[in-house]
A and B are shown apart, each in its own frame.
Chain A
């Protein structure tokens, strides 16, 4: 079985996001970029399935500008067999990204597609579900445990009420939650090895994917700030303040 993994590059989760003063976006110049944390988890899960003998090949997919290569090399160093780089200077929204993944699915015929549950830049939480719909296959979102046997995936999902278990026939789309696994660290020799692994580049325009119907982004603003409050000296004072506010 082949597994396709979404491997998006985003602003690192430790960066303090600043909205540009003119409201045209957030500051990304000189800011640290990393793999979307959920995508590191997706790749780790795929690698574990390969190590268990469930899958033979793990393909990391990145959609983005020409300089995405270094990022995809990280995915290869982590252990992906090869990478696909769909090249576009534009930011693709989830529906368009899902259409791109559908094209790749048609070409690669994977048994499983593992994406992150959300990209921590747009926080959209859509692409996996949209791909599953366009592909007309099962989806198992927010996975915290995944088992593959007898042509189906048994997935434990983190839902608001607790943990839900569902069964999905393969091929299927899984999206990862944080507790699915802990991604491995990349070791130096693996970085060397990754240099000889193949990256297929595909021009976005060559896929014939419709992108005209994206949402129009009007402007960006900084969120309303909560102002710094007061410090109280002890438990008695805290209780007094809360009672005065009518909260206790």
Chain B
């Protein structure tokens, strides 16, 4: 008898697709109900999106001015209150979920399972450790609620559109802390596909050499309709902003096509692309470790090869 609460992630009034991936993991538990919880200052558009996700039983909403921005200290006590009566609380393993879920778990006094990649039973899960170099199977105590984050790259998004789950507003009679305040969010505005959900991703590394040179990567990505990613070295060197980082400490992604250009293939980077469909590596060093995992490798200078690729694509 499982009842699962999935915490919705959203930004600018739009539901983040990571939520539907967490719903997929919830479906795999074969529960009786899956409710999605939307906490926001304006819930309507987000809740309407969530209600369409297949498998969702109800969408619960909490509308409060304090919920305008995702501050873990403010959201966690509300989530912990709603969690009463649920056997599982799932959040996507994004920076949002990673921030808030452990705070909920501690308020409930339960251990958390991070980054669930597969579900072996209602309380038995597989998760990666050591940057994905080992997989551990863990069992949570069925006497308590399971609080978990869902490794989004392991789960396809639950289908969207056929469902019309009821939306029920909740009023939670609890005070939230005022000791933490949102100041601003600096987002790189981009018309390119979103790195976390794109089918194709082109990533550049230190080999690209400069911020100016990175234009070559952007242009190529635009030509094939891909999102742009980067290695940590490229971000550290200031070629691109931090939100483009792929890897253990960046984004974990699973596009159908991943093209790594001027990236050596450090373990911490490879962690982020293990679930990609096809990995292509372009590197001038034929010994680069990236070729150990690439499905297709091409050795050569990226500044010569990219124009040739663009020409061959036509």
Contact = CB atoms under 8 A, between A and B. Distances in A.
Nearest to A11: B130
B72 A141 contact: yes
Interface stretch (B38-46, B203-211, B241-249): B241-249
A222 B113 CA distance: 19
Interface string B101-123: 11111110111111100000000
A188 interface: no
| A-B residue pairs, 4 tightest by C-beta | A235-B308, A133-B106, A129-B102, A229-B295
A26 B51 CA distance: 43
A87 B243 CA distance: 39
B94 to A, nearest CB: 5
Contacts of A242: 257, 278, 280, 296
A70 interface: no
Interface string B83-102: 00000000000111011111
B308 A94 contact: no
Contacts of A247: 200, 256-257, 277-278
Given A125-B114, A132-B73, A222 B102 contact: no
Interface string A118-142: 1011111111111111101111111
A248 B224 contact: yes
Contacts of A223: 128, 132-135, 274
B112 A126 contact: yes
Nearest to A131: B106
Contacts of A11: 130
A162 B111 contact: no
Given A98-B106, A142-B99, A230-B295, A213 B111 contact: yes
**Per DSSP, are chain A's interface residues mostly helix, strand or loop, or mixed?**
mixed
B162 interface: no
24 contacts: A11-B130, A13-B131, A94-B112, A120-B130, A123-B131, A129-B103, A142-B95, A158-B242, A159-B96, A160-B243, A162-B185, A162-B188, A162-B243, A164-B185, A165-B183, A168-B181, A169-B179, A178-B249, A179-B242, A213-B109, A215-B113, A219-B137, A229-B297, A231-B296
Contacts of A214: 111
B174 interface: no
Contacts, number: 252
A239 interface: yes
A231 B130 contact: no
Interface in A203-219: 213-219
A1 to B, nearest CB: 17
A246 B163 CA distance: 31
B238 to A, nearest CB: 10
Nearest to B187: A162
Interface stretch (B25-33, B57-65, B138-146, B165-173): B138-146
Nearest to A216: B139
A221 interface: yes
A161 interface: yes
Given A213-B110, A215-B111, A234 B308 contact: yes
A39 to B, nearest CB: 14
Given A94-B111, A123-B129, A129-B103, A221 B71 contact: no
B2 interface: no
A164 to B, nearest CB: 5
Contacts of B140: 215-216
A167 interface: yes
Given A130-B102, A215-B111, A235 B298 contact: yes
A159 B109 CA distance: 26
B177, B185, B268, B311, most chain A CB atoms within 10 A? B185
B287 interface: no
Contact of A166 (B111, B181, B186, B243): B181
